[in-house]
Structure 1
Amino acid sequence: MEKLKIAGGYPLKGTIKVSGAKNSAVALIPATILADSPVTIEGLPDISDISMLKSLLEEIGGTVQFEDGDMTVDPSKMISMPLPNGKVKKLRASYYLMGAMLGRFKKAVIGLPGGCHLGPRPIDQHIKGFEALGAQVTNEQGAIYLRADELVGARIYLDVVSVGATINIMLAAVRAKGKTIIENAAKEPEIIDVATLLTNMGAKIKGAGTDVIRIEGVEHLHGCRHTIIPDRIEAGTFMILAAAVGEGVLIDNVIPLHMESLTAKLREMGVPVDAGDEQIFIGKADKLKTVDVKTLVYPGFPTDLQQPFTSLLTRAEGSAVVTDTIYSARFKHIDELRRMNANIKVEGRSAIIHGPIKLQGAKVKASDLRAGAALVIAGLMAEGITEVTGLEHIDRGYSNLEEKLNGLGATIWRESLTQEEIEQLKSS
């Protein structure tokens, strides 16, 4: 086990490159199960979720090659093997294996997924969709069993706008008989990315990126090559840290259209933001004005950037309110920021931040992926040394983070935890 050490107070400048989208990758890789010949996905991030999915595909008989961000999956010899627990438990997005395996084999057994603990994240909308397509779904001993004689297209209305359910139903429906219509569908860029891959494989999908998606089922899907979109959450994390401690940072490999809600908030704070075709430049901001933020589904402000943005707001003058309408339990980073001298209190679904405050280096623990990003940003802003544990969360979503930040002039390194520190962590 390791900890991340950050020497704060160094200004960052230069160019930083964004990796492929994690939230896309975890759906694109299971989608390859639906093809009957090899699929290559280019530009994947080098993160633990990807290596976990690679071994799950190999477990069910896939041949997978992965190097330099490019993955080729040959699904021709895959079988419908149960995946009741083990690796599946460690990966929230393993639920996409349900839709893909159901779509291809008409049956699947998947252990209930894990990942970050962010309060209730039920998969009832996924199950509602599978049942509408003709599957029987049962929950037995902590695993979901899916069985169908055949899948038949249906009209499915999502009670809650859900990215996961939208993608999962899409995966199950592309090889079903007849027409499927998903109403109140999520509109995130990652959904368009998955639909693009499936279309390249021969699926017939219209309306991805709108709230009504229409799918005409086909019998077979074939292999193809696909390049993943850039990670808008990683890009947003870099934009926020550039606003916090930057002296001119160019963010490369980004789609500015995906970043508009964050760009608007940064400009409101007085941060110079200049967007090109595939790049965004964040200039130095001397004084930051405070702003309120409310997370919403896309194209609103992303819940995944709420925690990193909270760190930035400790530098702004005045009081700010950050409200998370998506996940109620997404404030575990607040106690850690308080250890670093932040003046923040939580009321219900909102955090109230009073600034400006000079953060102080401290020992902190990342409880989930984006809390980890928030603490890294806080460490870069703070005086002295910050130690972050819980790196397994950060490694799930950010590839080569230290290397990228050190390239901008940060001073970040990893050290092994002592036995005593490991015991302390286990008891905390």
Structure 2
Amino acid sequence: MSVIQVQGLRSLKGEIKIQGSKNAVLPMMAAAVLHKGTTVIHNVPRIQDVFCMLGILEHIGCICCFDGHSLTIDARDLTQAEIPEEYIKSMRSSIMLSGPLLGRTGNAVTSFPGGCSIGERPIDLHLSAFRKLGAIIEEKGDKLIVSANRLIGSHIYFPFPSVGATENALMSAVYAQGITVIHGAAKEPEIITLCEFLNNMGADIHGTGTSVLTVTGVSELCDSEFTVAGDRIVAGTYLMAVMAAEGDIVIQGIQPGHLASAISLADRMGAELKRYESCLEVSMRGRPDCVDVITEPYPGFPTDLQSQLMAVMASAKGTGRIKETIFEGRFGTAKELHKLGADIIIEGKRADIRGLYPLKGNRVTATDLRGGAALVVAGLACEGVTEIHECHHIERGYEDICRDLSSLGAAIRGMQ
């Protein structure tokens, strides 16, 4: 699907079941490499990033079976520890395989992932963690080689709670001799899930949900089975969608506590919300109010919902401000929102927004995953047709955004 068309100004109504979490399942798939046996993961979303990770796992010798939403990974016979550059270019998060490969084989060969459309995202914290465990880092041409005869537990200190670095530190420490203590660890729900997943395999990790994680090295893991939780960013996207379009929806298959900051923000903007154990009811009557918000590491407002929030505020009432503190390029979506008539002024890490409704349908281009989803959200608040191009970016993280929003009453379709 390369183009999405949205006919705006239709309210949403109905229930939607949220797919499994992309940001949880990718590190789980990587962690399966640690075990010389079989790992089964359920509720796996059928998205492009998952298929890309499957390709990498099969390339290094894993036998994978993806049946419906259940994935079986047999990692008994790894054939190599090198990830080809083309995989790293197509999915930057493939760097998370470095930790499991290092822990399992004592060697991981990748290349520097470089930047992307939302910022540089350097891997210095990942490499620092590997060094703390006794690994040697070498650069040979375009290749990055991480190796160790034996990993030894240590204290790892992160000056910033990087999710990716925390994941790599956790996975590389599972087989390290002795005790590893990770200070300043990220506390995102996906980190908690990874700890639970690894412990379910036989790892020994304590401090889950805190900024200090303690890993006692083990000598082997065991066959395991695990179910992925619903994707909080997809759920947050559909929360933003009903705020842009107005209406009443029920978001099923999530833990509302993981969306606390977004739910609080939606409440401030005028939405009516009811939380239950595994679902969220949202009612939006009339236009939302613009607010001031800052993106922050969890439990703060997630940068992965910032573009979608900008789309809502562009079609809201009043004025508001977004300060982006995580990724310096995340405001790229504003350029495309301008084509829809949005009044957004960018100054460094700050976006000042004056709401206008309705926006005007036009041709726009998705340049990244969440920015593409934001343009779909904006299209719901546009008069006329909004045509979004380069929608392969959206398919990296959403199984079928057209199917989901159509089920809620949106006039939306995908085209090749």
Alignment TM-score > 0.5, same fold: yes
> What CA distance in whole angstroms lies between the structure 2 residues aligned with 1:86 and 1:159?
31
Q: 2:105 is matched with which residue? A: 105
Q: 2:94 is matched with which residue? A: 94
Q: Secondary structure at the match of 1:129?
A: helix
The answer to whether the Cα contact below 8 Å between 2:10 and 2:410 also exists between their aligned partners in 1 is: yes
Q: Residues 408 and 115 of structure 1: is their aligned pair in 2 closer, same or farther, counting only changes over 3 Å?
A: farther
Q: 1:53 is matched with which residue? A: 53
Q: Secondary structure at the match of 2:281?
A: strand
> What CA distance in whole angstroms lies between the structure 2 residues aligned with 1:295 and 1:8?
28
Q: 2:276 is matched with which residue? A: 276
Pairwise CA distance, 1:290: 2.0
Output one character per residue of 1:83-103: Cα deviation in whole Å (capped at 9) or x when no partner.
Answer: 231222211110111001001
TM-score by length of 2: 0.98
Q: Secondary structure at the match of 1:283?
A: strand
Stretches of structure 1 that go unaligned for 5 or more consecutive residues are 417-428
Q: Residues 31 and 77 of structure 1: is their aligned pair in 2 closer, same or farther, counting only changes over 3 Å?
A: same
Which letter does structure 2 place at the counterpart of 1:34?
A: L
> What CA distance in whole angstroms lies between the structure 2 residues aligned with 1:128 and 1:52?
27
| 1:165-184 alignment, distance < 5 Å | 165-184=165-184
Output one character per residue of 1:213-249: Cα deviation in whole Å (capped at 9) or x when no partner.
Answer: 0000001011100011211101100111112213210
> What CA distance in whole angstroms lies between the structure 1 residues aligned with 2:117 and 2:103?
28
Q: Secondary structure at the match of 2:299?
A: coil
Output one character per residue of 1:120-156: Cα deviation in whole Å (capped at 9) or x when no partner.
Answer: 2100000000011011012222221011011000101
Output one character per residue of 1:71-115: Cα deviation in whole Å (capped at 9) or x when no partner.
Answer: 000100113332231222211110111001001000010133368
Which letter does structure 2 place at the counterpart of 1:167?
A: E
> What CA distance in whole angstroms lies between the structure 1 residues aligned with 2:387 and 2:74?
42
Pairwise CA distance, 1:191: 0.4
Q: 1:69 is matched with which residue? A: 69
> What CA distance in whole angstroms lies between the structure 2 residues aligned with 1:52 and 1:72?
15
The answer to whether the Cα contact below 8 Å between 2:246 and 2:287 also exists between their aligned partners in 1 is: no
The answer to whether the Cα contact below 8 Å between 2:131 and 2:137 also exists between their aligned partners in 1 is: yes
> What CA distance in whole angstroms lies between the structure 2 residues aligned with 1:149 and 1:54?
28
Q: 2:141 is matched with which residue? A: 141
Q: 1:221 is matched with which residue? A: 221
The answer to whether the Cα contact below 8 Å between 1:89 and 1:115 also exists between their aligned partners in 2 is: no
> What CA distance in whole angstroms lies between the structure 2 residues aligned with 1:80 and 1:219?
21
The answer to whether the Cα contact below 8 Å between 2:81 and 2:105 also exists between their aligned partners in 1 is: no
The answer to whether the Cα contact below 8 Å between 2:357 and 2:381 also exists between their aligned partners in 1 is: no
- Select between 80-89 and 102-111 the one with higher mean Cα deviation: 80-89
2:21 is the counterpart of 1:29? no
What is the RMSD computed on CA atoms of the aligned residues?
1.2
The answer to whether the Cα contact below 8 Å between 1:187 and 1:298 also exists between their aligned partners in 2 is: yes
> What CA distance in whole angstroms lies between the structure 1 residues aligned with 2:296 and 2:151?
33
Q: 2:321 is matched with which residue? A: 321
Pairwise CA distance, 1:284: 2.5
Q: 1:423 is matched with which residue? A: none
Q: Secondary structure at the match of 2:330?
A: coil
Pairwise CA distance, 1:208: 2.1
Q: 1:334 is matched with which residue? A: 334
> What CA distance in whole angstroms lies between the structure 1 residues aligned with 2:116 and 2:411?
27
> What CA distance in whole angstroms lies between the structure 2 residues aligned with 1:54 and 1:111?
19
> What CA distance in whole angstroms lies between the structure 2 residues aligned with 1:100 and 1:115?
23
Stretches of structure 2 that go unaligned for 5 or more consecutive residues are none
> What CA distance in whole angstroms lies between the structure 2 residues aligned with 1:79 and 1:218?
23
The answer to whether the Cα contact below 8 Å between 2:256 and 2:278 also exists between their aligned partners in 1 is: yes
2:61 is the counterpart of 1:79? no
Q: 2:6 is matched with which residue? A: 6
Q: 1:364 is matched with which residue? A: 364
The answer to whether the Cα contact below 8 Å between 2:114 and 2:120 also exists between their aligned partners in 1 is: no
Q: 1:420 is matched with which residue? A: none
Q: Secondary structure at the match of 2:26?
A: helix
Q: 1:39 is matched with which residue? A: 39
Which letter does structure 2 place at the counterpart of 1:244?
A: A
Q: Residues 272 and 361 of structure 1: is their aligned pair in 2 closer, same or farther, counting only changes over 3 Å?
A: same
> What CA distance in whole angstroms lies between the structure 2 residues aligned with 1:81 and 1:183?
28
Pairwise CA distance, 1:159: 1.8
The answer to whether the Cα contact below 8 Å between 1:134 and 1:152 also exists between their aligned partners in 2 is: yes
- Select between 281-290 and 353-362 the one with higher mean Cα deviation: 281-290
The answer to whether the Cα contact below 8 Å between 1:80 and 1:101 also exists between their aligned partners in 2 is: no
Output one character per residue of 1:31-77: Cα deviation in whole Å (capped at 9) or x when no partner.
Answer: 00001210001001110010111111111111100021110001001
Aligned residues with identical type, % of pairs: 38
2:203 is the counterpart of 1:203? yes
Which letter does structure 2 place at the counterpart of 1:126?
A: H
TM-score by length of 1: 0.95
Q: Secondary structure at the match of 2:213?
A: strand
The answer to whether the Cα contact below 8 Å between 1:254 and 1:279 also exists between their aligned partners in 2 is: yes
> What CA distance in whole angstroms lies between the structure 2 residues aligned with 1:387 and 1:217?
52
> What CA distance in whole angstroms lies between the structure 1 residues aligned with 2:317 and 2:81?
56
